[in-house]
Structure 1
């Protein structure tokens, strides 16, 4: 049975359109006003486009659109129609914006300032587009398709591609620029994570204790977080027990630990990072 994508409401479509447009313009601003004038590049297809633009003197916007287009066509069926066309729209807006901003004077010629502010704006732009269902670089599509064939994680594939691009940039722009570009990429990726995942980083907590009922009730009463019981059996003791599972934000982790240890100082607590939380009463 074919997968039917959820139809967006007019308000959702307008919101998607506004924020993808804003994100694409911000990325173009970071490239043309901070990074490219200071010989600093981004990773992925954008980085390849900057290198080719430097070597051939052809407009950066043209390379960004032309190089991304084959990957869009290749991955359209794999990534879904809505995501694909959101990506195509975002890349088109970014390409046009880079052309319009090409003759704007750079805000700074200090490379450290260009790295910091360029990376910040770049991460904000890419993060907005990702958060609202699009992408600004075909590298992710390539990585997804390769990963399906090879079982290599997507993140590792993107890392290998970018390492190669930064090495090439070292020969074209010089090794200082390549190293500045690596720091810019790191800053942008951290900002992008914050935009996509939000400031309220969530943690999933698994608790194993004989005092599970008291601990569960205290978590619900004092933190206002729902808990779930899973049946468990000790591998060594062979005793049946209930395992507590709950999700809290990062500011509540210390308080949760104190609650658990108040009832059982030997309780087992496992805490993991959660990328996103949807549904339930979690706010």
Structure 2
């Protein structure tokens, strides 16, 4: 591999990988803890549920009397495995640690009574905490609620019969709130709707505002070497959707040239940007690089 404009040794690459690995692990634990605080200190003790798998878990806990965390883990795990079946083992492991933290903290907090007596306060605060925890996880590639993500993976999209995500979320949450109204009463269903809206808004804000990541697309005639170098030094791989698009064009001989048009899409942290640009410019000075705020 050619020398980079400023020296990057194998030790440097390993240090960067270790730093990002530790940071993602800490964010997995923090996101799981915050989500569990909102769920089991505010929502569940007040008989309030939210949307997504977490809401299903809370409703199942109310009906059966079992720990909410048990249902959170059991219901999310199959979808988590499906979402990460084509990802690196390390990413799947850290995502599982985040989900496990959420579940264990939920079990630990389960007997604790509600922190406040106000139902509307519990709905608002609990929803915000739950959504913030889930949003922190999403920002770092960790899934705490597979059906509350702003964007589902291709695998989950196929599982849901290619229904558009907004339709899935709205339909699921309406059905869940209807069942909650029949089981818990319509007053609690109203508070549950408030909690659901608060959680979704917290997820949206925590995943879209003040983003420290950029979406970077590279069009290059030397994509394989670039992908290998970026993976070696930054432990980053092209987004799954773009890799599938490229393989589709490559399989069709008549559209083989479209591969260069599609390019490779990376999601890069701002702190990684100088090193990322150095790698690209060194290996292919003619590469076309475009930037967009990462979602």
Q: TM-score, normalised by structure 1?
A: 0.63
**Aligned equivalent of 2:62, options 50, 54, 57:** 54
Work out the number of aligned pairs and report it: 199
Aligned to 1:138: 146
Aligned to 1:155: 166
1:2-24 Cα distance to aligned partner (Å, 9 max, x none): xxxx9971111111111111111
Q: 1:154 to 1:84 in 2, by over 3 A?
A: farther
**Aligned equivalent of 1:23, options 23, 31, 51:** 31
SS of the residue corresponding to residue 293 of structure 2 reads coil
Aligned to 2:3: none
Give the C-alpha shift of residue 151 in structure 1: 3.6
Give the C-alpha shift of residue 72 in structure 1: 2.5
Q: Larger deviation: 38-47 or 69-78?
A: 69-78
SS of the residue corresponding to residue 139 of structure 1 reads coil
Q: Note if 1:75 corresponds to 2:83.
A: yes
Aligned to 2:127: 119
The structure with the greater share of residues assigned to strand is 1
Unaligned runs of 5+ in 1: 1-5, 201-275, 279-283
Q: 1:91 to 1:146 in 2, by over 3 A?
A: closer
Distance 2:38 2:118 in 1: 14
Distance 1:177 1:87 in 2: 32
Q: 1:32 to 1:63 in 2, by over 3 A?
A: same
Q: 1:117 to 1:171 in 2, by over 3 A?
A: same
Q: Note if 1:277 corresponds to 2:287.
A: no
Quick check: 1:116–1:187 contact (8 Å CA) kept in 2? yes
Distance 2:55 2:64 in 1: 14
Q: 1:78 to 1:49 in 2, by over 3 A?
A: same
Aligned to 1:65: 73
Q: 1:190 to 1:67 in 2, by over 3 A?
A: same
**Aligned equivalent of 1:166, options 177, 189, 192:** 177
RMSD between superposed Cα atoms in Å: 2.7
Unaligned runs of 5+ in 2: 1-12, 212-291
Q: Note if 1:195 corresponds to 2:176.
A: no
SS of the residue corresponding to residue 181 of structure 1 reads helix
Distance 1:161 1:198 in 2: 26
